Amino acid sequence: MIQVRRSEERGRNKLSWLDSHFTFSFDQYFDPEHVQFRSLRVLNEDVVAPGTGFPTHPHRDMEILTWMLEGSIQHRDNTGGSGVIRPGELQHMTAGTGVMHSEFNPSSKDPAHLLQIWIVPERRGLKPDYEQLAFADTDLRNQFGLVAGPKAPLTIRQDTNLYIARLDKGAEAKQPLKAGRYGWLQVARGTVDVNGMELKAGDGAAIADEAEVRAAAKEAAEVLLFDLA
């Protein structure tokens, strides 16, 4: 069973410096039909204007991932974690007992385009942590590459695995889903056929009772797949 969440159905908040689309309820946007999916709580697509960003703000008891699509974001937090995130790089932060951090677009001319992901952790009160890792294109090209999870290159403190695939036109990536597991597939760019259903950039799909997820690219595409308990 696949239930599609179309790009244009998402919530939106457009400011002078930030254009955000919300797959799930977030901040002042609330949709009782789309609060979260399993442990996947937030999936925001953000475009941050040049020379602007999120001022220092708190997070707590959440696993936070940032995947860059275009441009760059500079991260700083009060635990000493810092770095500039660029396309092909994934950032993970365990907010745990509490973190203060800021995110800033350091470019004077180019917007920063990113996906912000929050996952409910396995338990509250975890020790804060910060990770950042670049993935070679060959690790993701025309296949679902495991990038984050309990036993993945980046650690998610929850029974959740994140796979990313960059697909050439006509290519197909497949990933099994074990019995009792759920999937959420998010199209970051391009158009793909997912188990017989067409999804375009910004679309997402909740997947249940499927033995396998098959994503076939109708044009060059990039997709994220969450394997969830």
In the 3-class helix/strand/coil scheme, how is the chain assigned residue by residue?
CEEEECHHHCEEEECCCEEEEECCCECCECCCCCCCECCEEEEEEEEECCCCEEEEEEECCCEEEEEEEECCEEEEECCCCEEEECCCEEEEEECCCCEEEEEECCCCCCCEEEEEEEECCCCCCCCCEEEEEECCHHHHECCCEEEEECCCCEECCCCEEEEEEEECCCCEEEEECCCCCEEEEEEEECEEEECCEEEECCCEEEEECCCEEEEEECCCEEEEEEEEC
Contact indicator for 222, 27 with CB cutoff of 8 Å:
no
Predicted local confidence at residue 188, as pLDDT? 98
**Per-residue pLDDT reduced to its tens digit, 1-51:** 999 999 999 999 999 999 999 999 999 999 999 999 999 999 999 999 999
Average pLDDT, the chain: 97
The count of residues in the chain is 229
Q: Can you tell me the distance from the alpha carbon of 102 to that of 194, in angstroms, rounded to the nearest whole number?
A: 36
**Per-residue pLDDT reduced to its tens digit, 48-86:** 999 999 999 999 999 999 999 999 999 999 988 889 999
Structure tokens at 33: 């039909």
Q: Can you tell me the distance from the alpha carbon of 61 to that of 84, in angstroms, rounded to the nearest whole number?
A: 23
* Percent above pLDDT 70 for the chain: 100
Predicted local confidence at residue 79, as pLDDT? 87
Predicted local confidence at residue 81, as pLDDT? 84
Give me the residue label for tokens 């500079």.
Answer: 74
The pLDDT of residue 134 is above 90: yes
Confidence bin at 171 (pLDDT 50/70/90): very high
Instruction: For residue 195, count other CB atoms closer than 10 A to its CB.
Output: 16
Contact indicator for 29, 210 with CB cutoff of 8 Å:
no
**Per-residue pLDDT reduced to its tens digit, 89-106:** 999 999 999 999 999 999
